[in-house]
Amino acid sequence: YAMLLSLIFLIVLVAAVVGFVFRHEIKTNFESNLNLALRHYNMTADRHSEAVDTIQRTLHCCGVQNYSDWERTEYFTQKGIPRSCCKSQDDCSEEDLKDPSKAKLKVFVDGCFFLVTSTMESKMSVVAGISFGIACFQLIGIILACCLSQYITNNQYEMV
């Protein structure tokens, strides 16, 4: 049991170290995937488009760096900026969303990449604290399992 807990502890430790070491690559990957999702954004409800809409609505952001990222997409030429960028759904018309100067007043101007990464980084201390607590419980479990094993081994001959 102690060996199994030790193996799990090492796997979690390696995963944490890899996540910490490659955090910049994770950010770069996220940014490129978000740019790709914007380029392939469409009117049909595919999962990438839904994810972009959810991020924009939840974090009150628009585009990757800012709302003008949408101007370089095929969706913008057809429909303008998506409605998920609107500050108020009632005050956002399709004509406003096709005109970048009018849209600036109606949509969120901040980009989603910075908001997502800053939200993730702000929550990292909570995740690290919970992970540290779990690791402490695992270490206690390993120590107690070793003590139990030692106790059973020492008392084996007295049982006869």
pLDDT for position 142? 92
Task: Provide mean pLDDT across the span 136-147.
Answer: 91
pTM: 0.67
% of residues, the chain, pLDDT over 70: 95
% of residues, the chain, pLDDT over 90: 12
Is the pLDDT at 160 greater than 60, yes or no? no
- Helix then strand then coil, % of the chain, to nearest 5: 80, 0, 20
Is the pLDDT at 159 greater than 60, yes or no? no
* Residue 61 structural domain: 1-158
Instruction: pLDDT band for 144, please (50, 70, 90 cuts).
Output: very high
Of 113, 40, 119, 52, the C-alpha closest to 85 is 52
Specify the number of domains making up the chain: 1
Is the pLDDT at 95 greater than 70, yes or no? yes
Of 64, 72, 70, the C-alpha closest to 31 is 64
CATH number at residue 31: 1.10.1450.10
d(CA 82, CA 149): 63
d(CA 55, CA 124): 19
Mean pLDDT of the chain: 85
pLDDT for position 140? 93
pLDDT for position 7? 92
**Residue partners of 73: CB distance under 8 A and separation at least 6:** 38, 39, 41
